[in-house]
Amino acid sequence: MAAEDYIKGFLIGGLIGAALGILYAPKSGKETREEICRTTQDLLDKAKAQYEDKRRKVEELANREKELLAESKRRLKKAVDAGVEALRQEKAGPSET
């Protein structure tokens, strides 16, 4: 949630800055349009970079969680197998241990 808020704040701040720049800049229309295009492209590039970074981090976290889940399943299976074996030996009696 914090990452989404950061990206929203970043984009809104960029748009406000661009609007203020347009209103107060003593430039020609052509220069202003070029600056708007550059600013927009910069914002898009930064947003894409942040998106890719967050996507990569989420993917890494998901992979780590999958590995932890697989390890937990292996441990549980091993514990269940040991319990079943212990029960089997207990039922068989002391002569077969």
Q: How far is CA 42 from CA 46, 58, 61, in A?
A: 6, 24, 29
* pTM of structure: 0.49
- Pair of tokens at residue 94: 């002391």
Task: Please give the DSSP secondary-structure letter assigned to residue 36.
Answer: H
Residue range 65-92, pLDDT digits in tens: 999 999 999 999 999 999 999 999 988 8
CB 25 within 8 A of CB 57: no
Q: pLDDT tens-digit profile of 6-64?
A: 888 888 888 888 778 777 777 677 887 888 889 889 989 999 999 999 999 999 999 99
